[in-house]
A and B are shown apart, each in its own frame.
Chain A
Amino acid sequence: MIQDDIIWSCVGENFCCFKAKTKLETFCRNRYNLSGICRRKLCPLANSQYATVLEHRGKCLLYMKTIERIHTPNKMWEKIVLPDKYSDALKMIDEKLQYFPKMTINKAKQRLTRIRQYLMRMRRMKLTVQPKLVRVNKKVERRERKRENRALEVAKIEKSINNELVDRLKSGLYDGFYNFDQEEFEQMLDKIGAKYEEEEEEKEKEKEKTGGSTFVIDEEAENEMESWGKTPKIWDMEDLVDDDYEKKMKKLKKRKKGKPKFEIEFEQEVNHQQKREKN
């Protein structure tokens, strides 16, 4: 009591390690302050008769300090556990802080109320799932994004998908799915194979004639050759198939580079690995 004013003149106006000044307000970081503000009546250092309500593990405790105990710091604060019931706790505060200044009693009750409110909220929050906030590390994000893009490029997904589909087609997986006749398809393949063989034969013949020099075969010439070489079958689709095939080939040639092509290769031995390497 006697020294309170002296202490305030040293602490309140000058330096105090618990003081936290902001532009608008001066706060008190002392654990025992009733309402974190630095003020003469609220300073736990400058008031030898002081009381607070603090919470420990869900229990509210009333801390009281009197002049007699100021010189024994480890026994300075008398701790009293407040009852769980709110009204009983208020009564206890009234009882224990009977001879304390009114401001202290009121502030203690207010503090008790606030503590109880946040404890309730904590209990409620524990029952729900709280979103976990995670930092956004700009550097990491940037790095990962770049790596993803790079990996995408390297993977060449479209190409590998294309290859896979072609393999599956050849292996006969889609036999049941597509509507064209397997026999027809195979026959068509055979024809294409035969045509190629004929071309090769003629190449050789020409080579023999000319002595090694090669000639470019026109499409018209091709047609003529076809009509000579082949015996007309009863099957109607034959001619159409050839025409269509030529058209298709033309179309394929006109296609852009980026689009996947359906190339039919004529090699008898089908080696998947080689093809993948080529592509």
Chain B
Amino acid sequence: MTTQQLRPIVSVFPIKGKVKTIKQVPLPSVFSAPIRPDVVRFVHTNMAKNNRQAHAVSTTAGEQTSATSWGTGRAVARIPRVKGSGTGRSGQAAFGNMCRGGRMYAPKKVWRKWHRKINTNQKRYAVCSAIAATAVTPLVMSRGHRVNKLPELPLVVSDQLQSLTKTRQAVKFLKFIGAYRDVEKVIRTKKTRVGQGKYRNRRHVLRKGPMVVYARNLGIKKAFRNIPGVETASVYTLNLLKLAPGSQMGRFIIWTESAFKLLEDIYGSWEKPSKFKSGFYLPRPVMVNTDVERIIKSDQVQTVLRNRRPRSRKYGKKIQRADPYEDMSVMLKLNPYYKTKLQKQKELEEKNKEERKEIVDKSRKEYEDWLYFSEEEEEEEEEGSDEDREIEVLSDEN
């Protein structure tokens, strides 16, 4: 249906020996289902609420007093107070959420809606999306799985895996196929839980490692049970909470051949309905070809578009313009009146030349006069100064 048919054929690998394709299997249609992070998030957040256990505060908590308000006129707050005397408790405030030993605000009730109903189709949509995301290498990498050394994604392995019984064999297989790096990551990052869960029987926190999906359990479940981070699941019951942990799509899944083939029957395609989910067809994508850039740049679109409008220069590149004050031709292009303006200026200048000359001469003369005059003055002053002073002194004494 979609152009997202990534690889029509997928290789099947053995569980030991050499990492070589022993068989090739067609890719089920589920892997071409639309990848919708929004649908997955919605379904995941609601589904995650379904394993909650009811908890509440005791119904009588904080209410087991016969406290009454003292009313007004006693110079105390009007909150109900404990009756009686002879004990420290008497006269203390009770009942309010602000009071010490009072009931909480809106005490929790057991009849809170703990679980959420989700439309079946939505649930299936999410699961299909999550499975499709499993085959997209970048999404699996972005979730944090160490898949650099894998021979192929989606990783399909021969059915012999289902008959494994020993954990040792399982580990050996994981190392052989290149999936053990993910398990190592889990082992390395095992930590004590942050918070109070650590003393509520949830002491350790582990990452999610690879998930092994089988068609028939012939010992595989027990073989992989004790390996940290590794989960097993049957194809018939794939859980979204495990396919997209934390509503993050792209879990690293190892499929067995028969499980892989069964996916076509379990989820159907766009033409054929599912054999196990009555009336269920694979969800249709809103957009078949999601490469928007390619579409816009394609010939079919470009030929039909109108011409581009000139861009506003405001945020564009700075254009190197010629300086009008350097180049007269540019100036005249911009302002043709400039020429006449200059001419007029020139005429004015010449007109005023004579006037200016007079003014300039006059001012110059004045300056010179002042200069010479001041020199003479100084000389006179020097000659007569002593005498004057003496006279003054005499006068003061007198």
Contacts from A to B (Cβ < 8 Å): 1-7, 9-11, 14-18, 45-46, 70-74, 76
Q: Is the CB of A2 within 8 A of B291?
A: yes
In the complex, which residues of chain B have a beta carbon less than 8 angstroms from the beta carbon of A6? 35, 136, 290
Give bound CA distance, A254 to B133, whole Å. Answer: 99
Q: Is the CB of A73 within 8 A of B137?
A: yes
Q: Is B6 engaged at the interface, CB distance under 8 Å to the other chain?
A: yes
Q: Is the CB of A16 within 8 A of B294?
A: no
Q: Is the CB of A7 within 8 A of B153?
A: no
Q: Is the CB of B138 within 8 A of A46?
A: yes
In the complex, which residues of chain B have a beta carbon less than 8 angstroms from the beta carbon of A4? 291
Q: Is B248 engaged at the interface, CB distance under 8 Å to the other chain?
A: yes
Give bound CA distance, A10 to B134, whole Å. Answer: 13
In the complex, which residues of chain A have a beta carbon less than 8 angstroms from the beta carbon of B152? 71-73
In the complex, which residues of chain A have a beta carbon less than 8 angstroms from the beta carbon of B292? 5
Q: Is B16 engaged at the interface, CB distance under 8 Å to the other chain?
A: no
- Known A-B contacts A10-B249, A15-B142; the reply to A73 vs B153 at CB < 8 A is yes
Give 6 A-B pairs besides A2-B4, A15-B142 with Cβ atoms closer than 8 angstroms.
A5-B292, A10-B133, A45-B138, A71-B135, A73-B152, A76-B137
Q: Is B149 engaged at the interface, CB distance under 8 Å to the other chain?
A: yes
Contacts from B to A (Cβ < 8 Å): 3-4, 6-7, 35, 37, 133, 135-139, 141-144, 147-153, 178, 246, 248-250, 289-294
Q: Is the CB of B3 within 8 A of A2?
A: yes
Give bound CA distance, A7 to B246, whole Å. Answer: 17
Q: Is the CB of B294 within 8 A of A1?
A: yes
Give bound CA distance, A46 to B136, whole Å. Answer: 11
In the complex, which residues of chain B have a beta carbon less than 8 angstroms from the beta carbon of A1? 291, 294
Chain B: minimal CB distance from A104 (Å): 15
Q: Is the CB of B248 within 8 A of A7?
A: no
- Known A-B contacts A2-B291, A4-B291, A11-B142; the reply to A70 vs B4 at CB < 8 A is no
In the complex, which residues of chain B have a beta carbon less than 8 angstroms from the beta carbon of A16? 142
Q: Is the CB of B142 within 8 A of A71?
A: no
Of residues A6, A11, A70, which shows the largest number of chain B Cβ atoms within 10 Å of its Cβ?
A6
Partner of A3, one of B143, B148, B246, B290: B290
Chain B: minimal CB distance from A155 (Å): 49
Chain A: minimal CB distance from B8 (Å): 12
Q: Is the CB of B136 within 8 A of A73?
A: no
Partner of B137, one of A15, A18, A70: A70
- Known A-B contacts A11-B139, A15-B248, A17-B142; the reply to A74 vs B291 at CB < 8 A is no
Closest 8 CB pairs of A and B: A45-B138, A17-B144, A16-B142, A11-B142, A73-B150, A7-B138, A2-B291, A10-B37
Give bound CA distance, A47 to B350, whole Å. Answer: 74
Chain B: minimal CB distance from A184 (Å): 86
In the complex, which residues of chain A have a beta carbon less than 8 angstroms from the beta carbon of B289? 2
Give bound CA distance, A91 to B149, whole Å. Answer: 31
Nearest neighbor of B292 in chain A, beta-carbon distance:
A5
Give bound CA distance, A45 to B4, whole Å. Answer: 17
Q: Is the CB of A5 within 8 A of B290?
A: yes
Nearest neighbor of A8 in chain B, beta-carbon distance:
B138
Q: Is the CB of B7 within 8 A of A71?
A: yes
- Known A-B contacts A2-B289, A3-B136, A5-B291; the reply to A45 vs B151 at CB < 8 A is no
Q: Is the CB of A10 within 8 A of B151?
A: no
6 contacts between A and B (CB under 8 A): A10-B35, A11-B142, A17-B144, A72-B151, A73-B148, A73-B150
Nearest neighbor of B153 in chain A, beta-carbon distance:
A71
Q: Is the CB of B290 within 8 A of A74?
A: no
- Known A-B contacts A5-B290, A10-B139, A11-B139; the reply to A74 vs B151 at CB < 8 A is yes
Q: Is the CB of A11 within 8 A of B138?
A: yes
In the complex, which residues of chain A have a beta carbon less than 8 angstroms from the beta carbon of B133? 10
Give bound CA distance, A11 to B143, whole Å. Answer: 9
Nearest neighbor of A14 in chain B, beta-carbon distance:
B37
Chain B: minimal CB distance from A54 (Å): 14
Q: Is the CB of A74 within 8 A of B136?
A: no
Give bound CA distance, A73 to B141, whole Å. Answer: 10
Q: Is the CB of B35 within 8 A of A73?
A: no
Give bound CA distance, A205 to B221, whole Å. Answer: 115
In the complex, which residues of chain A have a beta carbon less than 8 angstroms from the beta carbon of B294? 1
In the complex, which residues of chain A have a beta carbon less than 8 angstroms from the beta carbon of B250? 10
In the complex, which residues of chain A have a beta carbon less than 8 angstroms from the beta carbon of B148? 73-74
Nearest neighbor of A46 in chain B, beta-carbon distance:
B138
Give bound CA distance, A15 to B147, whole Å. Answer: 18
Give bound CA distance, A45 to B142, whole Å. Answer: 8
Chain B: minimal CB distance from A22 (Å): 19
Nearest neighbor of B36 in chain A, beta-carbon distance:
A6
Give bound CA distance, A17 to B148, whole Å. Answer: 15
Give bound CA distance, A197 to B153, whole Å. Answer: 112
Chain A: minimal CB distance from B149 (Å): 5
Q: Is the CB of B139 within 8 A of A73?
A: no
Give bound CA distance, A72 to B154, whole Å. Answer: 9
Q: Is the CB of B137 within 8 A of A71?
A: yes
In the complex, which residues of chain B have a beta carbon less than 8 angstroms from the beta carbon of A71? 6-7, 135, 137, 152-153
